[in-house]
Structures are given as C-alpha cells and as structure tokens.
C-alpha cells in the first residue's frame, strides 16, 4: 500500500512537470554546445529582460529608438547605456520581443538627451543665430532691407557658395527687374539678334542727365546691397538653441555703437564733424589724441575716430535725390614762406552760393558716405575765400635744465613779505647745474643785470625771447647763435635770489608769459 502511494506521487509529479514543459516551452531555450544562447539585458542600470540572440537585442533596440522618436519632430538623441551578459544555459527563461521593446523604450526615455530640430544657422561676420526654417532666414534678411526698400523693388537671393566644401548659402540683394529678366532668359524670351541691337541703340540715344529737366528724373532708390557677408548653413540643433525670428530681427537690426575712421576733407571743422556723427565736441576730442582742444587744427587727410551707431547686418544703398542747398567753394591758399604755419590772414572773403542739384547719394545705414552730382543749376554764384598762410614750422621750446624742482611758478606771489608778479618760473637745483638753450636763437645779452644777477637773453626766429637768470657763470657771448640744448651757463644764486636755482622767462612782444604753456 505504501509503495503504491509513493509510485502515485512520482507519477503525479512527472505529469505536472510535463504540463509545465508544454506551457513554458516557447520561453525556454535549450543549451547549444557551441555558443551562448542566453543574453541578459541591462539598459541604464534597469533590468530589461533576456533574449536568445545578440541580433535580437539590436533589433529590439532599433525598434525602441523608433518608438521613442514617434510624434517628435527632428532627431532624438538618447544615450543607450546598453549592457549584455551572455551565457550558455541548459534551461532559461526568455522574454517576448514586445516586452523587451517596451522595457527598452522606457529606459531610453530616462536617457533621452534632446530632440534635434531641423534648423538653419545664419552667420553675419562674427555673429551667429539659429532659425527654425528657411522662411525665417528670408524674413531676417528682408527686415534689414525693408527699412530702405519701402517700395519692395528688391528681392533676397540665396546662392550656393561653390568655393566651400560644405553646403553654404550666401545672401545677396537683387532687383526684382533682374529676377524677371533672369526668368525670361531661362524661358528664352529675351530679345535676340537685331531686336537686342536696336534696344541697345535706343538706350545709347537717351539724353545725358545735364540735358534732362529736373522733373524728368525718377527720384528714389537706385541701388541696394548688403553691407556684411551673410552665410547660411543647414543644421540640427536642440530646440532651446533656436531663436524666434522676431527676437533675431530685433537683435540684428538694432543699432550698436561702432568706432569708425573719418578722413577730413576741405572745409571740415571739428564742430561740424562732431555734429555730423551726433557727438559733442568734448567726446570727439576725447576719442582722438591729435585733438588737444576745440581750437586744434585739422588738415585735409587727417583721420579721426568717430562713433557710428549701426546694426549687425548693415545695408548700403544709393538714392537719387533733388536738393536745394547753399554751397561754398573750397578755400584758396596763398603760401608765405616767411610766416609760420599757425600764421594766416584772409585776403578775400568768400561768398556763399545757392544751387539746386540732382545727386546720387550713397548711404550706409542712414549715414551719407558719398555724393555724385549728376545735374546742377546754380542760382547764385559762389566766390572762394582766399587765405594767406605760413609754411615755416614754429620752433619748439624745451625745459632749460635736467632735473630740478619747481620752487616758484609764474604769476602772483609773495616774496619776503611783499606781493608781486613773478615773470618766470624757478627750478631749485644745486649750484653749477648746466643750463641749456630752450630753443635755437641769437644771444642778445650775456652778463650782469641787477636783480637778475648773471643773465642771458636769447632772441628766437619766431619773435619770442627767453631769459635765464641768477647764473653763477655765463658760457656764451652777445651776438653768438646758439642751438637748442647748447650749454649757455651754470646755475647759481646771484642777484636777487634766496638760493641756488634757475629763473626762466619766455617773452612775446616784450611781455612775459607762463613758460609752462610754451615748453614741451
């Protein structure tokens, strides 16, 4: 009886095992003697499941990526982080393809980096902006040209740059008439042969601008080009790196301050140049080292730095304009070799004229850069001003000693309890310090002179005179011509002096002036 029950138990267990074998046969894999047959998958540290072959793993991963990108525009980047453990097993559970793909998709979502959207990168000089479509690119460039082309006579053209290895488009502006002619040429509708010859002959027979009446001119925009190089490259970028077209237009078209060089032309003044570029005279002087103050002389050809507001993408254009204006003829100069360059005299006053003109005026972002007069009618003649000016370079004056410390300045002072005017400047220095000629000239006095003590007077070619007083010794003589930096004496404390020093004077027309305003 007991052995019968035991046999029944064995039979029952065998039947249960057989049923399980039949039920789970699709998910169990027998061992192959020559290769792995069991692959356990981990993705981003997440348990995915097991499959029977490595090829099945890759197939499932591709399907998971496809499922991840469904419903999203652009390219999805996601790190895989895939890990496989292979083995040979006699019996092991494998998961269905659908389960593996679903688990992989969930794991990839955790590793999803970004969705790359189809976009276009627009580069303007050193500036770059990313836009979402080619229509946005056109709109950005149109915004710059639209400020000038109010009649919409020009179009934007994008062409492939043949010199580049990658596909780079360059932008330009072309007239709509040129576009029309190009299309007609492509269709073979342009005039040919004798008809074209006749058209050219009629064009050459047109009257010159001087022969036309003012009313015959077609005023307005005649030419329009981009002032900066624009390049466009197709790209794929994360959505957060793409700029809306409205923000891009605001950034590209807003004015920013840029330093430019202006070359002085005849008739210019510093005040007029400052006003032309919306600067104060003080700002213009501060930006240019060659300008010391508002009275500084500027010459034709001088280059001045001016601040000009301009957008990132500039446009250059030409306008045909009717203008009525006063005008002056260029000043005529008569040169005098006996005068210094800062000496001049008006020989004849100029007279302002009046005229009406048709001019082709070139502009860069609203600032006039050139003008060509194509027709002129003078209603009041102008007369040129004639100015006589010197050619000689005025002598330069330098400090007459090396070293020393200023002990008394030019002007009002109190000395020994008495107020008075100090006619020069004093440098305290040891007795015997060398004194040099401040500028080349003729010695007109050398010797003792009362309160000056031992003193030297030098008359200079520009009419000025320098004096060097309280010397301990004089090293030149009357009538001698000395050059700048020639030694003329030694410092001391002779005459009315409180200690060893050099007293230095500069006189113009016999009147003392502050030496510090003369020496360089």
Boundary of a domain, candidates 203, 228, 250: 250
pLDDT-wise least confident of 90-94, 223-227, 249-253: 90-94
Domain count for the chain, please give it: 5
Same domain, 377 and 468: no
- Confirm whether 438 is domain-assigned: yes
- Check whether 222 has a pLDDT greater than 80: yes
Q: Does 124 share its domain with 244?
A: yes
The predicted pLDDT at position 196 comes to 56
**Nearest CA to 461 among 299, 346, 343, 297?**
343
For the stretch 103-153, pLDDT in tens is: 888 887 776 655 678 899 999 988 899 999 999 999 999 988 888 888 888
Q: Are residues 98 and 178 in the same domain?
A: no
Q: Do residues 89 and 132 share a domain?
A: no
More confident residue, 506 or 227: 506
Q: Report the phi/psi class of residue 72: left, alpha or beta, with left for phi > 0 and alpha for psi in -120 to 50.
A: beta
Q: How many residues does the chain have?
A: 520
User: What residues contact 55, with CB distance under 8 A and at least 6 apart?
Assistant: none
86 in a domain, yes or no? yes
The verdict on 89 and 152 lying in the same domain is: no
Residue 2 is predicted with a pLDDT of 47
Q: How much of the chain exceeds pLDDT 90, in percent?
A: 35
**Range ranked top by mean pLDDT from 28-37, 69-78, 242-251, 344-353:** 344-353
208 found inside a domain: no
Residue 309: partners with Cβ closer than 8 Å, 6 or more residues away? 255, 256, 257, 258, 278
Report the CATH number that the domain containing residue 356 is assigned in CATH: 2.20.230
**Residue 238 shares a structural domain with residue 328:** no
Asked, for residue 306, whether it belongs to a domain, the answer is no
Say if 300 falls within a structural domain.
no
pLDDT score of 195: 53
Q: Are residues 24 and 38 in the same domain?
A: no
- Pairing state of beta strands 220-226 and 127-131? unpaired
Would you give the distance in Å from CA 48 to the centre of its chain? 57
Dihedral class, residue 151 (left if φ above 0, else alpha if ψ from -120 to 50, else beta): alpha
241 belongs to a structural domain = yes
Write the pLDDT tens digit of every residue in 182-214: 666 656 554 455 555 555 655 565 677 777 888
Residues 508 and 485 in one domain: yes
- For the whole model, what pTM was predicted? 0.51
Q: Domain ends where: 250, 271, 299?
A: 250
Which range of residues forms the domain containing residue 484? 405-517
| Domain stops at, among 351, 370, 394 | 394
* pLDDT of 441 above 90: yes
The whole-chain average pLDDT of the chain stands at 83
Q: Do residues 125 and 243 both lie within one domain?
A: yes
Angle at 101 between CA 96 and CA 105, to 5 degrees: 150
Domain annotation covers residue 296: no
Shared-domain flag, residues 24 and 35: no
* Residue 511 reports pLDDT greater than 90: yes
Residue 42 within a domain: yes
Most distant CA pair in the chain: distance in Å? 161
The answer to whether residues 41 and 77 belong to one domain is: yes
143 within 8 A of 252, measured Cβ to Cβ: yes
**Residue 315 confidence (pLDDT) above 50:** yes
482 and 508 housed in the same domain: yes
Query: Can you give the CATH number for the domain in which 431 is found?
Result: 2.70.70.10
């Amino acid at each position: 009886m007991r052995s019968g029950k035991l046999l029944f138990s064995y039979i029952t267990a065998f039947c249960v095992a057989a049923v399980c074998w039949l039920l789970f046969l699709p998910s169990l894999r027998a061992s192959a003697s020559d290769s792995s047959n069991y692959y356990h998958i981990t993705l981003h540290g997440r348990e995915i499941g097991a499959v029977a072959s490595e090829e099945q793993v890759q197939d499932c991963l591709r399907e998971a990526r496809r499922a991840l990108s469904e419903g999203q525009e652009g390219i999805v980047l996601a790190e895989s982080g895939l890990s496989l453990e292979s083995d040979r097993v006699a019996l092991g559970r494998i998961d269905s393809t659908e389960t593996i793909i679903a688990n992989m998709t969930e794991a990839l979502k955790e590793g999803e980096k970004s969705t790359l959207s189809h976009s276009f990168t627009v580069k303007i000089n050193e500036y770059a902006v990313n836009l979402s479509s080619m229509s946005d690119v056109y709109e950005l460039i149109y915004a710059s040209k639209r400020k000038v082309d109010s009649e919409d006579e020009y179009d934007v053209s994008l062409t492939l740059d043949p010199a580049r290895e990658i596909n780079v488009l360059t932008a330009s502006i072309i007239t709509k008439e040129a576009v029309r002619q190009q299309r007609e040429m492509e269709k073979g509708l342009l005039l040919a042969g004798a008809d074209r010859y006749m058209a050219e002959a009629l064009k050459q027979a047109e009257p010159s601008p001087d022969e036309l009446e003012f009313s015959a001119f077609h005023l307005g925009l005649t030419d329009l080009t981009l002032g900066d190089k624009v390049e466009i490259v197709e790209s794929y970028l994360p959505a957060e790196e793409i700029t809306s077209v409205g923000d891009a237009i605001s950034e590209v078209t807003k004015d920013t301050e840029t330093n430019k060089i202006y070359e002085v032309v005849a008739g210019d003044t510093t005040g007029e140049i400052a006003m032309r570029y919306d600067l104060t005279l003080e700002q213009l002087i501060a930006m240019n080292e060659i300008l010391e103050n508002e009275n500084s002389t500027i010459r034709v050809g001088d280059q001045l730095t001016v601040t000009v507001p301009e957008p990132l993408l500039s446009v250059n254009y030409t306008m045909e304009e009717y203008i009525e204006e006063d005008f002056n003829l260029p000043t005529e100069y008569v040169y005098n070799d006996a005068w210094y360059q800062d000496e001049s005299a008006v020989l004849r006053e100029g007279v302002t004229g009046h005229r009406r003109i048709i001019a082709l005026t070139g502009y860069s972002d609203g600032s006039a850069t050139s003008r060509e007069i194509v027709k002129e009618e003078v209603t009041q003649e102008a007369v040129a001003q004639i100015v006589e000016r010197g050619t000689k370079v005025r002598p330069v004056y330098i400090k007459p000693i090396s070293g020393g410390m200023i002990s008394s300045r030019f002007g009002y002072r109190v000395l020994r309890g008495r107020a008075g005017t100090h006619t020069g400047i004093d440098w305290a220095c040891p007795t015997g310090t060398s004194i040099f000629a401040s500028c080349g000239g003729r010695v007109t006095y050398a010797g003792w002179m009362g309160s000056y003590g031992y003193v030297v007077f030098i008359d200079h070619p520009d009419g000025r005179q320098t004096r060097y007083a309280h010397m301990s010794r004089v090293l030149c003589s009357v009538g001698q011509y000395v050059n700048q930096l020639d030694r003329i004496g030694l410092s001391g404390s002779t005459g009315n002096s409180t200690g060893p020093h050099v007293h230095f004077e500069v006189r113009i027309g016999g009147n003392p002036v502050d030496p510090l305003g003369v020496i360089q």
